[in-house]
């Protein structure tokens, strides 16, 4: 009988140890157990009012750890939100199944090469002739001595994605090695036209006679912010001391996109002529 009495305290301690160590998995209604597996079949809600700060913060101090791991069954979204506000510094790997490399980026330099078919002399009666003849450059010949200006407005963007484009400069390639020819000037005008009476200013003007073959970059000292009312005019001057050929090569305009919003042209909308479609020019239907 005494041996049974001595064994009883040991049995009680063992039973208490079993009871204390039992809740290794949290169930519905139990507190969340840190460092353990918590499994329930009902929604857990954390609600409150925290002014000026986050309601929940997860901080992983490990050098190679993440802060949050959300896993769902295949085909289900990992999160739901109730706002369209942008999350700063959120780096998403894919959007609608596409990687970031598949989207057009709105930062960095914008280069637009102007077609050499757009060049024309200042005066259509000037004694010059244009010849492509299988050459990648435009060969301009003049039958008598003299100086000629050549213009190329080009189809260039002034607004992209609703934002103004900044004009930074041009790169112009040429060949003036003919002994009777020199590349004598380049001028870029930014025109503004909002009422049919355009005005302009000249961010680039260089008047230096050159007799080499080169691609020269001309950077605007004060970059021009363009709007829907702006356009660019490129003028090149060549000088002939005798019969010879001046070769015009690539003309590349240098831009970058700004953060400044730009509206579409605000001119009046004209009514369609009676019986005509508003989508096609007259006589093309």
Q: What is the pLDDT of residues 155-187, one digit of tens each?
A: 888 998 889 999 999 999 999 999 999 999 999
SS3 92: coil
149 inside domain: yes
| Residue closest to 188 by CA, chosen among 226, 147, 138 | 226
- Determine the pLDDT at residue 196: 84
Phi, psi of 122 (to 5 degrees): -60, -40
43 inside domain: no
Distance of alpha carbon 127 from alpha carbon 119, whole angstroms? 15
Across 27-41, 190-204, 226-240, least confident range: 27-41
Tell me the per-residue pLDDT of 232-261, one tens digit each, with 9 for 90 and over. 999 999 999 999 999 999 999 999 999 899
What CATH number has the domain bearing residue 250? 2.60.120.260
Across 53-57, 132-136, 141-145, 157-161, least confident range: 132-136
171 inside domain: yes
- Rounded to an integer, the average pLDDT of 214-223 is 94
- Determine the pLDDT at residue 270: 66
229 inside domain: yes
Distance of alpha carbon 15 from alpha carbon 32, whole angstroms? 25
Across 17-26, 78-87, 156-165, least confident range: 17-26
7 inside domain: no
What is the domain count for the chain? 1
**pTM, two decimal places:** 0.61
Are the CB atoms for 265 and 164 separated by under 8 Å? no
* Residue 140 domain boundaries: 109-261
Distance of alpha carbon 147 from alpha carbon 213, whole angstroms? 19
């Amino acid at each position: 009988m005494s041996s049974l009495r001595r064994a009883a305290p040991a049995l009680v301690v063992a039973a208490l140890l079993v009871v204390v160590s039992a809740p290794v998995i949290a169930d519905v209604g139990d507190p969340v157990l840190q460092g353990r597996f918590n499994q329930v079949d009902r929604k857990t809600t954390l609600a409150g009012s925290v002014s000026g700060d986050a309601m929940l913060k997860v901080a992983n101090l490990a050098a190679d750890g993440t802060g949050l791991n959300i896993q769902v069954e295949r085909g289900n979204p990992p999160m739901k939100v109730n706002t369209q506000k942008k999350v700063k510094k959120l780096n998403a790997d894919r959007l609608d199944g596409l990687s970031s490399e598949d989207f057009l980026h709105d930062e960095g330099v914008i280069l637009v090469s102007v077609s050499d078919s757009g060049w024309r002399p200042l005066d259509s009666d000037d004694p010059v002739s244009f010849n492509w003849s299988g050459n990648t450059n435009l060969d301009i010949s003049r039958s008598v001595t003299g100086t000629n200006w050549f213009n190329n407005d080009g189809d260039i963007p002034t607004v992209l994605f609703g934002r103004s484009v900044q004009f930074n400069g041009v790169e112009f390639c040429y060949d003036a090695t003919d002994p009777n020819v020199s590349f004598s000037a380049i001028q870029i005008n930014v025109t503004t036209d909002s009422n049919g009476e355009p005005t302009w200013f000249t961010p680039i003007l260089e008047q230096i006679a050159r007799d080499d073959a080169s691609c020269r970059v001309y950077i605007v000292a004060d970059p021009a912010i363009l709007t829907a009312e702006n356009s660019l005019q490129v003028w090149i001057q060549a000088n002939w001391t005798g019969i010879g050929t001046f070769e015009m090569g690539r003309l590349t305009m240098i831009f970058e996109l700004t953060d400044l919003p730009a509206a579409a042209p605000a001119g009046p909308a004209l009514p369609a002529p009676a019986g005509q479609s508003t989508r096609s020019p007259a006589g093309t239907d």
